[in-house]
Chains A and B, each alone.
Chain A
């Protein structure tokens, strides 16, 4: 049933519009899932020689998305670690002996703050670049030229970006946590009232294996998600260069939205299964 038919049946334009909007969003979600399935299929079908070539592209993507982003992540994680410590010191002067507070703050950094912030950096740096690059390739029909040469664009364009972004985000996530905690310790060491040994003891106890695993898993999933969304929008460019900024903007906003939604879903599922 079309949106117009629904409007006529319910005698109001609202239901039809809502239905049309929901159907379009569902279709978009289906396209993203198809792209993910296409990626998985291409990964399984890759031959030895093609894998060798794709592997180099994955290394390049990790360098661009992961290694090159270390500076930005260092600054951001140091600021966030420092701000959290300053807030803690002003909010609860005896926090270094409060295991509940320590567990909550360390858990928050590892499970939520690090995955979300590293993903936001990834979206801004690499996600936008991927959407622009692939959009430009579509306008120039470079993907068609590759297909004609028997080069499947899924392993050539999609796979290195998805794997590279997922691995990079996981690494950046871990690095973010380490930097934030190091900065946390460094700032607290300047406060003579803080018992550093006691705080380090509590801190070591607050870093739980399950939290670390959840953080890294989130990094992996959010990185893949950002790559899939940005690839989809980049490859959706049809003929005109003016579509590239439009698609890039949509890719960034959608990545932000999915980042928070997926992070929330993973947290809830993890809590229900493992807590």
Chain B
């Protein structure tokens, strides 16, 4: 469904080169990497919304234009995208935002659109937020609304950029991860980018690391000898080890004075 062969592109601060990647039907993949490593632009390249200089990107067998002028309309409805920051339109309610692609492309009335998206809002547990505006709901609900909007045409592929980005409380964090792993998503190919090691352990997903302009399968990281990779993986492994040993995250140890506790 998504095939990249020796693709190179620039993010402004990082040069990504020789990137090869494949995501098949109903497959899931997570790309873990530090900030500004080019993860977001990787997703945009897959969507034909960011230019690439070398190689080939194919989506559903169609080669995408190197100039990054967007997807042809027939492909656009087969792919859902959830951005890092809120891209809900501020002047529309949450339900109008979720139903926007539907009403725009099909010409359904507001009533018909509301009927269609009702089950979707229910599935993402944001029915109550439906009548509110984006600034009136939490970051987690914004993320869930964006996921609902991305799934409004039942796309075959869903691309999610930093699903846990933003000010999320632990419940919301878990809720978003649970939604991505839910039974409803089993028929959708999922490509997720994240800088959170917790998200990178998503069940049944192939795991990659994007460091220093390269995309490396996590299983092959031991073979790569590179200062940037070693540094990043050192931090990730330390985090994972603390989690495995039941050590509370560092912020849990902060006392009322703001000084770190014994944990």
Question: Could you mark each residue 49-68 of chain B with 1 if its beta carbon is under 8 Å from any beta carbon of chain A, else 0?
Answer: 10000000000000000000
Within the assembled complex, what's the spacing in Å between the Cα atoms of A133 and B149? 22
Q: Is A68's CB within 8 Å of the partner chain B?
A: no
Closest to B105 in A: A49
Q: Is A50's CB within 8 Å of the partner chain B?
A: yes
Question: Could you mark each residue 133-154 of chain A with 1 if its beta carbon is under 8 Å from any beta carbon of chain B, else 0?
Answer: 1001100111011011111000
- Could you tell me if B81 and A53 are in contact, using CB atoms closer than 8 angstroms? no
- Could you tell me if B85 and A53 are in contact, using CB atoms closer than 8 angstroms? no
Given contacts A142-B87, A147-B70, A148-B81, contact A49 B100 (CB under 8 A): no
Q: Is A192's CB within 8 Å of the partner chain B?
A: no
Determine the chain B residues whose CB is within 8 A of the CB of A144 once the complex forms. Answer: 49, 83, 87
Question: Could you mark each residue 43-57 of chain A with 1 if its beta carbon is under 8 Å from any beta carbon of chain B, else 0?
Answer: 000001110110000
Q: Is A156's CB within 8 Å of the partner chain B?
A: yes
Within the assembled complex, what's the spacing in Å between the Cα atoms of A151 and B77? 10
Question: Could you mark each residue 79-98 of chain B with 1 if its beta carbon is under 8 Å from any beta carbon of chain A, else 0?
Answer: 10101011111110000000
Q: Is B236's CB within 8 Å of the partner chain A?
A: no
> Of A52, A133, A151, which contacts B101 at CB under 8 A?
A151
- Could you tell me if B104 and A156 are in contact, using CB atoms closer than 8 angstroms? yes
Determine the chain B residues whose CB is within 8 A of the CB of A147 once the complex forms. Answer: 49, 70
CB proximity of B9 to chain A, nearest CB, Å: 16
Within the assembled complex, what's the spacing in Å between the Cα atoms of A150 and B153? 12
- Could you tell me if B85 and A149 are in contact, using CB atoms closer than 8 angstroms? no
Number of A-B contacts (CB under 8 A): 55
Closest to B50 in A: A144
- Could you tell me if A149 and B83 are in contact, using CB atoms closer than 8 angstroms? no
Determine the chain A residues whose CB is within 8 A of the CB of B47 once the complex forms. Answer: 148
Determine the chain A residues whose CB is within 8 A of the CB of B88 once the complex forms. Answer: 142
- Could you tell me if B89 and A142 are in contact, using CB atoms closer than 8 angstroms? yes
- Could you tell me if B83 and A48 are in contact, using CB atoms closer than 8 angstroms? no
Q: Which of A99-136 contact B (CB under 8 A)?
A: 133, 136
Residue among B47, B49, B77, B104 having the largest count of chain A Cβ atoms under 10 Å: B104
Determine the chain B residues whose CB is within 8 A of the CB of A151 once the complex forms. Answer: 100-101, 104-105
- Could you tell me if A141 and B76 are in contact, using CB atoms closer than 8 angstroms? no
Q: Is B71's CB within 8 Å of the partner chain A?
A: yes
- Could you tell me if B104 and A145 are in contact, using CB atoms closer than 8 angstroms? no
Given contacts A149-B100, A150-B76, A151-B100, contact A141 B83 (CB under 8 A): yes
Q: Is B182's CB within 8 Å of the partner chain A?
A: no
Can you list 23 contacts pairing A with B, beta carbon distance less than 8 Å?
A: A49-B104, A50-B107, A52-B107, A53-B107, A137-B89, A140-B85, A140-B87, A141-B83, A141-B87, A145-B81, A145-B83, A145-B87, A148-B47, A148-B70, A148-B79, A148-B81, A149-B76, A149-B149, A150-B71, A151-B100, A151-B101, A151-B105, A156-B104
17 further contact pairs, Cβ within 8 A, besides A142-B89, A144-B83, A151-B104: A49-B104, A50-B105, A52-B107, A53-B103, A53-B104, A133-B91, A141-B83, A141-B87, A142-B87, A144-B87, A149-B76, A149-B81, A149-B101, A149-B149, A150-B105, A151-B100, A156-B104
